[in-house]
Amino acid sequence: MPTSQGVSLLIPYIKALLNRDWSVSVRHIPRECNKVADILAHLAWSLAPGLVTFQDPPVECVSAAAKYGICLAASLF
């Protein structure tokens, strides 16, 4: 699996996309404010490369949603 060093290899590609002739807005959302997305990002490192779909939300997301009072819309999964 890629490490954080592998993620840093994406930075030149991200910069190239940001420099294209289009309007781009980037906003930082602290992980404390976006627990489910943070959990999914960490979960992605343990999955096989490629498209992954879930019939139901991963248990980790359900647990975090319950802990932080977040509603998981079934249509998102």
* Distance (Å, whole) CA 46 – CA 51: 13
pLDDT tens, 31-44? 777 888 888 888 88
* Distance (Å, whole) CA 65 – CA 57: 10
> Minimal CA–CA distance to 55: which of 29, 75, 39?
75
Domain ranges of the chain: 4-76
Single pTM value for the model: 0.48
pLDDT tens, 41-66? 888 888 888 888 888 888 888 888 88
